[in-house]
């Protein structure tokens, strides 16, 4: 997924998205695009970005928002495993 698609789907401002990358919270793949490189985001990246943005909008700082996002992803995964098994 391209940067423009991530911005559209999540509503996160571009500078916040790039800040998450700078901090290492997401690691989009770099794809050659002429003289430049484009970022390619995975579905997991999109999920993390959306959740971090949700928590940032609630007033949490970046590090806490990221941790809460990972905790939420883990809880959801655990709940799915519990109902499946």
Token digits of residue 35: 């003289």
Of 82 and 30, the structure prediction assigns the larger pLDDT to: 30
pLDDT above 90 covers what percent of the chain?
85
Q: Which CATH architecture has domain 3-84?
A: Orthogonal Bundle (1.10)
Q: Where are the domains of the chain?
A: 3-84
In Å, how far are 25, 46, 76, 77 from 28, measured between CA atoms? 10, 10, 23, 22
How high does pLDDT run on average in the chain?
A: 94
pLDDT score, position 84: 72
Of 24 and 82, the structure prediction assigns the larger pLDDT to: 24
Each residue's pLDDT tens digit, 23-35: 999 999 999 989 9
Q: What pTM does this model have?
A: 0.88
């Amino acid at each position: 997924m391209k940067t423009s698609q991530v911005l559209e789907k999540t509503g996160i401002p571009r500078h916040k998205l790039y800040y998450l990358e700078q901090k290492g919270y997401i690691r989009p793949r770099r794809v050659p695009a002429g003289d430049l490189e484009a970022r390619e985001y995975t579905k997991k990246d999109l999920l993390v970005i959306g959740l971090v943005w949700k928590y940032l909008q609630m007033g949490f700082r970046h590090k806490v928002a990221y941790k809460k996002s990972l905790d939420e992803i883990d809880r959801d995964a655990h709940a799915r495993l519990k109902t499946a098994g």
